[in-house]
Structure formats: C-alpha cells, structure tokens
C-alpha cells in the first residue's frame, strides 16, 4: 500500500518536524493519526528482528550487495525508498527513525 507509506511520512514530518508553521495542535493531531495508522496496519519488523531472521547466506548476500551501492542508493535505503532492497530499506528506515525520535526526546 504505497499511499500508507506516503501518509506515514507526511504525518511523521508534521509530528516530529521543526517547521515553525506547524502548531502544537497540528503535532498532536499528527501523533493521534499516526497512532491510529499503527493500529490499522501491521508493524514492520524492527531492524534487529529483520537481521536476526536472516540466514548467514542471506546476510552475506545482502552485505555483498551493499558493496555495489552508490551513495544515492544508500540514501534510498536509509530513507526507506529503495526499490532494490525494499524490505531491508523499510527495516533500516524504521530503525533510523526510532533512533532519531529517541535522540530528540532526550533534548527536550
């Protein structure tokens, strides 16, 4: 469901972004909508779960595949938009987002 990923990205930008035009009310509404979205759609496996489910051969194949990547492709993996390795991109993106949220929570 590609629309759900775009919706999630927009809601996360509103909820966690720093745009001065976004009001606290907008952020709270976005958080509420993200919460409802999480209840509607299945959760993606987190990064460590994804890695733990890989066989040594799959992991070696994926690591070898990374050596072919251009910087733009690595950026697509981190942003979750890679078409070359969509499941791995989703897992990496989720972990990056989680760590970003955790690091900003500590600053508040």
Q: How many domains does the structure of the chain reveal?
A: 2
pLDDT digits (tens, 9 = 90+) for 54-75: 888 887 787 777 677 777 877 8
pLDDT digits (tens, 9 = 90+) for 12-43: 889 888 888 989 999 999 999 988 887 776 65
Give yes or no for residue 8 having a pLDDT over 90.
no
Same domain, 21 and 55: no
Same domain, 66 and 96: yes
Same domain, 98 and 57: yes
Same domain, 26 and 62: no
Same domain, 60 and 108: yes
Residues 10-45 as b/e (b if ≥16 CB within 10 A, e otherwise) read ebbebbbeeeeeeeeeebeebeebbeeeeeeeeeee
Supply the DSSP string of 36-80, one letter for each residue.
HHHHHSPPPPPHHHHHHTS-HHHHHHHHHHHTT--HHHHHHHHHT
Same domain, 35 and 53: no
Same domain, 6 and 51: no
Same domain, 98 and 54: yes
Same domain, 25 and 67: no
Helix axes 71-79, 86-107, angle to 10 degrees: 70
Angstrom distance (rounded) from CA 83 to CA 49: 21
The domain in which residue 34 lies consists of 1-42
What is the dihedral sign for C-alpha 55, 56, 59, 61? negative
Same domain, 93 and 52: yes
Same domain, 38 and 63: no
Its pTM surpasses 0.75: no
């Amino acid at each position: 469901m590609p629309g759900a990923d775009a919706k999630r990205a927009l809601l996360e930008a509103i909820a966690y972004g720093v745009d001065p035009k976004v009001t606290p009310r907008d952020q709270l509404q976005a958080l509420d909508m993200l919460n409802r979205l999480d209840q509607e759609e299945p959760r993606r496996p987190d990064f460590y779960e994804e890695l733990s489910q890989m066989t040594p051969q799959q992991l070696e194949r994926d690591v070898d595949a990374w050596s072919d990547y251009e910087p733009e492709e690595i950026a697509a993996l981190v942003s979750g938009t890679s078409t070359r390795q969509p499941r791995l991109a989703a897992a990496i993106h989720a972990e990056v987002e989680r760590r970003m949220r955790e690091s900003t929570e500590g600053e508040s």
